[in-house]
Structure 1
Amino acid sequence: MNHLTLTIDADGIALITLDHAAETMNLVSPEWLAEFAAAVETVATDPAVKGAIVTSGKKAFMAGADLKLLSKGFSKAEALAFSEAPTRMHRRLETCGKPFVAALNGLALGGGFELALACHHRLLVDDPKAVVGLPEVKVGLLPGSGGTQRLIRLIGVQKGLELLLSGAALGPAEALKAGLVDAVVPPGDLITAAKAWLMGAPDPVRAWDRKGYAAPEAGGLLNPGMAALFSMQPAANAAKTFHNDPAPAAITSVVFEGIQLPFDKALAVESKYFAKLLSGPVARNIIRTTFVSKGEAEKLASRPAGVPKANFARVGVLGAGMMGAGIAYVAAVAGAEVVLIDRSQAEADKGKAFAEKTLAREVERGRRSETQADDILSRIRPGEDFAALAGVSLIVEAVFEETAVKADVTRRAQAVAGPDVIFASNTSTLPISGLAEASQRPEGFIGLHFFSPVDRMALVEVILGRRTSQETLAHALDFVAFLRKTPIVVHDSRGFYTSRVFQTFIHEGMAMLGEGIAPALIENAARFAGFPVGPLAVTDEVTLELPMKIIRQAEAEVGQAFERPCGTPVLERMLAAGRGGRKSGGGFYDYPQDGPKRLWPGLADIYPVRADQPDITEIRHRLLAIQALDTARCLEEGVLTTAADGDLGSLLAWGFPSWTGGTLSYIDTVGLEAFVAQCDGFAQRYGSRFEPTPALRRRAAENEPFYPAPDGAERA
């Protein structure tokens, strides 16, 4: 057996040890299911066996299903069969007449915890890393092998529903208090305690299989408590998801229906809801981008082969402002000695002060010890003398976003560090090939675009200049991995990928304002689409000066060939009115000291709201489409090399809605033909920026999605 071992001791206690030989984590798969079902049959049919212990030979007990498998897509029939097989196995386990105890020696999540719930008794090791829970809602699914029905019968409807809708993972003390496990046991006593329970001849019949069983809080809408809960929960789900993610609504329905049914019928209902979610686009989108593509990126799938791995014992950071200070901090946390250079010692010290403040907060919250914080802080060496860069293996430039300034520090740094040191620019918009002209060795020059705040944002956009070598790319990716960040690789252009497409979002919002669309309608439509904030609010945060500066810089460098973005007139008018954004006291919003931000009333004077307002759905689709369309252009132009990088970048860089799976997955979700038709309509009404490219029209005509969809899988 490749997934488990089965032994039976002299007392008739079977020990089933999950231990997938080819994986670091035990996962639910068809192969595992067949082996485990066979082990259950052995326990059930061997008269010498009194009961069974299920544990793991790995540090963790078991996770859920293999997400790579789930991301490939299922038809509804395939998804139903995928759910019904483990459901039958779990049911056989709990009704076979022999008691099973789950000895959870580590993490048990998703399908792994569903297996534990099917056992008659659960023991959890006393280890803070040993968390348990059902997090399926976070990937657009619900527990599909009995998890919803066993949980609510064990701990009650209200507590169970809260855990299912949050997807929370609980540590030992919390899990015991909540009733998810029966006991918490010291690490060395787990198997002994499990066997002792079995030797006590426990009753192997579950409560819900006894005659006359009444489910807790049953009665549906005739039960006043349940009537109140299920009357309000749909509205709470909608307020959180805006109907973009169907999983919370499905979980609520399956709990409501299941608690009123006999157990086996409730399991059948659960499988049907699970199948609908798994065969739908949202779960597929979320799983593919946020788990599979993200995992591949973090394993450095784009790294050129055959290049020896680089190490980063000592690195340099030029510029101790917000970005430079953040980069210095994460590099020091990763273990590097960091030379942090700015124009003066005082400015450099301010950069180190950011690390000091951040570490103090970490210590206060119990995430680091004082000693750990002191060690990290000691690795940051602030100063103004470029000579301190001697001996660094990589330099990240994070100075003012101006070509001449960046060229100056590049020359000064390479004069000390030498031309062979990897030189990376943290520019967000300036073409890397142009910046590399100041370098002694353009082959060793690359872009590393971090996002603010650096310590919390996972993405790094790795930008190849025209002359960047494959060795430089490999070592830049090594550095991103060293920082425990997630890389995407793009080719050089103005704005690269993330800044370029993000700007379409804010400019489209400003263009709508200029058309007389109510600002609250614009902002709410963005929220309803799934964006964390609306385009006007996020423009205030980045400041109105920044996109205006990007426009002027492009005009100076590109000339008449540069086409001004659609929101430029609004930018100019707002800046002329002294409304530069939050940092300057107010922009599209006011920021009173005694309350939350609110839309600036003066907007109505500058941009009167027209009488005929578009439907909120039109605005929602317009904001999503402009970003998706420009991402498709980036892929066609070679700025992006894979659809996965485009999707991952859109989710992690600026918060494109996760239910879509990303900008290109969104096109697939809408359907190519429908998306092209939608863009054609927008082009007629709002301008040529919505005009689909010939390549996108060809894709639609030939039904060639960015990701192949299986037969029977649904689109939105």
Structure 2
Amino acid sequence: KAVSRGRTAQDKADALLARITPTADPQDLAGCDAVIEAVFEDTALKHKVFQEIQHIVEPDALLCSNTSTLPITALAEGVERQNDFIGLHFFSPVDKMPLVEIIKGERTGEEALARAFDLVRQIKKTPIVVNDSRGFFTSRVIGHFLNEGVAMVGEGIEPASIEQAAAQAGYPAKVLSLMDELTLTLPRKIRKETRQAVEESGGTWTPHPAEAVIDRMVDEFGRTGRSGGGGFYDYGDDGRRTSLWPGLREHFTRAGSETPFETVPFKDMQERMLFSEALDTVKLLEEGVLTSVADANIGSVFGIGFPGWTGGVLQYINGYEGGLPGFVARERELAERYGERFTPPALLVEKAETGGRFGD
């Protein structure tokens, strides 16, 4: 494609392709000093892949998984050298997205971390480092953006207005169109696994209002996203997005119906998406998954499309009108209107009360 557009020469393209060796034989990995697994999000399958190659690659080879949600510590249980096991979460499309999220498991060694960091820099990507947790930083936080947009559909808000709110807030991808790209079945799978993990650890699962909308879309209407032929949007025979699915207005939108509802202000629509991501980022700092404010800001903009004008998800809090006290006050307004999920976390309240800011 680059050759056809005049962006590179044919000899350079040929040289690049010559460095790639397609194979189905694990023995072809002999001598490799770093491997990156990128199979489906299935723990057993990932264990099988690593068990096939761990004695073929170099004895000190870096063992990396490109998982976007599965805890690295659990994946490492499938290999013998857990100190060399680490998460390298790339973002799609890989050739265009600059970020790589490096995830340290409980047994990941410092040498493995340093080598992974160097590897990411060598391939001219921007690394951030986080500790292990289901969904890590990026996947967990973007899930709140998606959930909030979908929840608004369930509240009867005009879908086109939801998309416009995301666009005018500065998101590069509108929330419902992004949901279609990721598929509606993926969040259901993640939800099931996360709920099971929460309950097995003795916690209580709190359903998000978006869950009922996703379940209806998949189970009642068979709308699973772009790859399934239709989701929140309709698609043409060529797979291109055409328009929002008319069924959304029929089955969810309450405008013009006999059901009374309070009009949700446009600013609330925007800030519900922005605040939901910011709030969970603070929780990740509290939990120790994030250890760097800079990594949070960089990762949010370069990895998951948090609006660039904010300077990043935590800088958005710093720069909010009225500073941290203003942000906390607004958070409490949203919590009163839309639910306890907007209750500000203790770390945020503490910083607001002591005149603090988020900075390394």
Superposition TM-score, scaled by structure 1 size = 0.47
2:224 pairs with one of 580, 599, 606: 580
Is the Cα contact below 8 Å between 2:154 and 2:209 reproduced in 1?
Answer: no
Question: Which among 275, 281, 292 is matched to residue 642 of structure 1?
Answer: 292
Q: Could you tell me how far apart the structure 1 residues matched to 2:313 and 2:199 are?
A: 30
| Residue pairs, 1:53-64, within 5 angstroms | none
The answer to whether residue 343 in structure 2 is matched with residue 698 in structure 1 is: no
Question: CA separation in 2, counterparts of 1:470 and 1:704?
Answer: 31
Residue aligned with 1:412, SS: helix
The alpha carbon displacement at 1:690 in A equals 0.9
CA shift, 1:620, in A, is 0.9
Query: 1:193-204 alignment to 2 at 5 Å?
Result: none
Greater Cα radius of gyration, structure 1 or 2: 1
Contact conserved, 2:279 with 2:344, CA < 8 A, in 1? yes
Q: Aligned to 1:683, what secondary structure does the other structure show?
A: helix
* Correspondence 1:589 to 2:229: no
Higher relative contact order (CA 8 A, sep 6+): 2
Spell out, residue by residue over 1:577-611, the C-alpha distance to the aligned partner (whole angstroms, 9 max, x if none).
10001111110111235985211110122213255
Distance 1:636 1:701 in 2: 17
Match of residue 179 from structure 2: 539
Instruction: Find the aligned partners of 1:405 and 1:428 in 2 and give their Cα distance.
Output: 15
- Residue 534 of structure 1, CA deviation: 2.0
Q: Does 1:455 align with 2:95?
A: yes
Matches within 5 A, 1:473-512: 473-512=113-152
Give, in whole Å, the separation in 2 of the partners of 1:385 and 1:592.
Answer: 39
* 1:669 partnered with 2:319: yes
CA distance 1:504–1:386, shift in 2 (3 Å)? same
Question: 8 Å contact 1:516–1:609 — kept in the other structure?
Answer: yes
TM-score by length of 2: 0.93
- Cα separation, 1, equivalents of 2:27 and 2:241: 47
Partner in structure 2 of residue 426 of structure 1 = 66
Q: 1:406 aligns with which of 46, 65, 89?
A: 46
Deviation at 1:555, TM superposition (A): 2.9
Match of 2:304 in 1: 654
Q: Does the 8 A contact of 2:32 with 2:58 survive in 1?
A: no
Q: What do residues 380-422 of structure 1 show as CA deviations (whole Å, max 9, x unaligned)?
A: 1111111111100001000111000001101111022255211
Q: Is the 8 A contact 1:419 1:441 kept in 2?
A: no
User: How far apart in 1 are the matches of 2:198 and 2:241?
Assistant: 41
Determine whether 1:439 maps to 2:89: no
2:134 and 2:140 in contact (8 A); partners too? yes
1:600 aligns with 2:240: no
1:687 equivalent in structure 2: 339
Specify every segment of 5 or more residues in structure 2 that has no aligned partner in the other structure, as ranges. Answer: 256-260
Alpha carbons of structure 1 residues 667 and 446: separation in structure 2 relative to 1, 3 Å: same
Q: What is the CA deviation profile of residues 193-230 of structure 1, one whole-angstrom value per residue up to 9, with x for unaligned ones?
A: xxxxxxxxxxxxxxxxxxxxxxxxxxxxxxxxxxxxxx
1:67-78 superposed matches below 5 A: none
Stretches of structure 1 that go unaligned for 5 or more consecutive residues are 1-360, 709-716
SS at 1:463 equivalent: strand
1:127-156 C-alpha deviation (Å, 9 max, x unpaired): xxxxxxxxxxxxxxxxxxxxxxxxxxxxxx
Using the TM superposition, give the Cα deviation of residue 706 of structure 1 relative to its aligned residue in structure 2, in angstroms: 0.9
| Distance across 2 between alignment mates of 1:501 and 1:682 | 18
Counterpart Cα distance in 1 of 2:54 and 2:332: 50
Aligned residues: 348
Describe the SS at the equivalent of 1:597: strand
SS at 1:416 equivalent: coil
| Pairing of 1:250-649 with structure 2 (within 5 A) | 361-417=1-57, 419-559=59-199, 561=203, 562-576=205-219, 577-593=221-237, 597-610=242-255, 611-649=261-299
SS of the residue corresponding to residue 487 of structure 1 reads: strand
Question: What amino acid does structure 1 have at the position aligned with 2:227?
Answer: K
Contact 2:233–2:241 (Cα < 8 Å) also in 1: no
Amino acid aligned to 2:236: P
